[in-house]
Structure 1
Amino acid sequence: MSDNLLEMRIFVRVMMSGSLSRAARDTGLSLTVISRKLSRLEDRLGVRLINRTTRSLSATEEGQRFYERCSRILDEIDEAEAEVSSGSETATGLLKITTTFAFGSRWLVPLMEEFQQQHPNLVLQLDTNDGIANIVESGYDLAIRFGELSDSSLIARRLASNRRVICGAPSYLAKRGRPVTIEDLVAHDAIVFGEPMNTQWSFVDDRVVNVNWKIALNNGELAHQSALRGHGLVLKSIWDVEDDVRSGRLEIVLPEVSALAAPLHAVYPHNRLSAAKLRLCIDFLADRLKLAQAQFDYELRGRSRS
């Protein structure tokens, strides 16, 4: 078993370094040992993992798949050893996270930079995508998503509520006026987004408004920017617009009205449940986001009374 693990480590190091000679220098082994271990691994598996020429090497299709699995296995082994030696309150290894672009840029990146400062042995990979990635197939440890969990093979932990607000730029409101009731929304230009497009705005009292949209976009951040330029009203998560609302670049209309919310969740596979890096990360995010949520709620209550 120890030989198998060594062969896996050598293979991963060769893939990462891009050459046998560099892998030999990195591991402190001779080039002959590196080459022999790699050949033995391929013989044992019965497939070629790397195409080698005198000038370069490249992974075969099977080699790339094997590399991705080996990298994760070795990372978990290293993480387990670190937890045993340094305690369960240390996050180590690679943590791969996906979320939407808007939430990632405004919230997740700065929060995770702070988290990494607390855990310097942690390596972060943050991907943003407004689509719903298959986190198991894509190898993510964690996804930060809005809305309820639909995949029963995953675990979801609620991080914070997600009040959605209708807002527009001061320039738009000066030109078109401010709606007083939900029914007034049909007389305004709406900016809609999503796949499919959210052309019906729903509220907690079961009212639904078919908005008069003039601009439809497939990306929430594009809709946000369009609203900032004064092209209409947009229904957005407070997490996406709070900085613009505070600065006055956007103004909330109908602040007393509650649109249907999609709470913020941490979503992860069952087999990652015991990983200290994941547990510590989720606890950290929950603490920070709940504090921010409390501040939002306080400010919104003030706007509703004014």
Structure 2
Amino acid sequence: MLDNLPALISFARIVSAGSLSGAAREMDLPLSVISKRLAQLEAALGVRLIQRTTRRQTLTEEGVLFHSRVVRILDEIEQAESLLMQRRQAVSGLLRVTAPGQLGRRRIAPIVAAFQREHPQLSVQLELTDAVVDLIDSGYDMAIRFGALTDSTLIARPLAPNFRVLCASPAYVAEHGAPVHPADLVQHRCILIGDQRRADWRFSSGGEEHTVRVTASIVTNDGEAAHTLAAEGAGIAVKSIWDVGDDLLAGRLVRVLPGHSVSAAPLHAIYPHSQHLAPRVRVFVDYVRDRLQQDWRWDAL
């Protein structure tokens, strides 16, 4: 049937154009060529596909059945060709990415370095900020964010799971002990991220929800600083597992209240809705997803 591909394309165009002459004009071919292709196709199939008069043409019953299948076949061929063309396209140009600060420094920057080594024709601008950047106004190709979308004009693709933990240094726990119940946190030194000295920390355990209002011994506007403060024994912090997981595995930090889970939004790649997404964006999203999922090692924590 691949030998008859030009005939199949001509047949589909005859139907969509409404006539052989219309198909000839659209395909910029002589009418005789279109007519010959149709005749050869009907001869090969042994059936008449189109009833033709001087005024009109109509599909036969066999023609209706065959046309529906031909349209599907041609669409699959077009998609296959598009896929191969996309794969052949070099990942090049400027890729502009924004990501949260601590995650970006610890996780995304090494991934960007590895990706750029594989695609040396690519340039990358990596913007690290905890603020939610407007991708359309700022011109960024994509963002890596914790949480769901608020803008329905954007696409969110899940990259990796996430959860938050309460953590402190072994030295802090040795000196101050570990809380047994969330309510015990009011007696401990807590590190808050933001600009408020009080915050509600929410936990769940055994189907029960617990909310504890804690007062900070230290407040910082920087997540990396909170991480460092906890590792230095300054108190207890709530951090994403992506930020502190390696320290927990290495024993530089320990989990506090490990039986109480702290919900957290998973990681997403966010990018503008586009039918023709640039190869550099599409390939990078796949690459980040694969690398982050390979790095996930904290199910047992």
The answer to whether structure 1 residue 255 and structure 2 residue 258 are counterparts is yes
Distance 2:181 2:267 in 1: 28
2:237 aligned counterpart, secondary structure:
strand
1:185 match: 185
User: Aligned partners of 1:239, 1:91: CA distance in 2, in Å?
Assistant: 28
The aligned counterpart of 1:105 is 105
Q: 1:296 aligns with which of 278, 290, 298?
A: 298
Matches within 5 A, 1:84-123: 87-88=87-88, 90-123=90-123
Q: CA deviation at 1:139?
A: 1.1
The DSSP-based 3-state class of the residue aligned with 1:120 is coil
| Pair 165,86 (structure 1): closer, same or farther in 2 beyond 3 Å | closer
Tell me what 2:274 maps to. Answer: 271
Q: Is the 8 A contact 1:96 1:125 kept in 2?
A: yes
TM-score, scaled to structure 2: 0.67
Q: Does 236-245 or 193-202 show the bigger shift?
A: 193-202
Residue deviations 1:75-126 (CA, integer Å, cap 9, x gap): xxxxxxxx99773564211100011111111100101111112222111110
> In structure 2, do the counterparts of structure 1 residues 180 and 117 end up closer, same or farther at CA, with 3 Å as the change threshold?
same
Between stretches 251-260 and 229-238, larger displacement belongs to 251-260
Q: Determine whether 1:241 maps to 2:244.
A: yes
Change (3 A) 1:90 1:252: farther
Deviation (angstroms), 1:221: 1.2
Change (3 A) 1:189 1:263: same
RMSD between aligned residues: 2.2
Distance 2:195 2:140 in 1: 23
**Which has the higher Rg, Structure 1 or Structure 2?**
2
- One-letter amino acid of the structure 2 residue matched with residue 138 of structure 1: S
* 251 and 89 in structure 1: CA distance in 2 versus 1, 3 angstrom threshold: farther
TM-score, normalised to structure 1, is 0.66
| Paired residues for 1:154-169 under 5 Å | 154-169=154-169
Amino acid at match of 1:154: L
The answer (yes or no) to whether the contact 2:198–2:213 under 8 Å persists in 1 is no
Q: Aligned pairs, how many?
A: 216
3-state SS in 1 of match to 2:137:
coil
Tell me the secondary structure at the aligned position of residue 135 of structure 2. Answer: coil
CA change 1:143–1:170 in 2 (3 A) is same
Letter paired with 2:147: G
Percent of matched pairs sharing the same residue: 44
Are 1:136 and 2:136 an aligned pair?
yes
- Contact 1:178 1:253 survives alignment (8 Å): yes
State the shift of 1:247 in Å.
2.2
Q: Which runs of 5+ in 1 are unaligned?
A: 1-82, 301-306
8 Å contact kept, 1:146–1:263: yes
In structure 2, runs of 5+ residues without a counterpart are 1-82
Deviation per CA, 1:7-59, whole angstroms, max 9, x where unpaired?
xxxxxxxxxxxxxxxxxxxxxxxxxxxxxxxxxxxxxxxxxxxxxxxxxxxxx
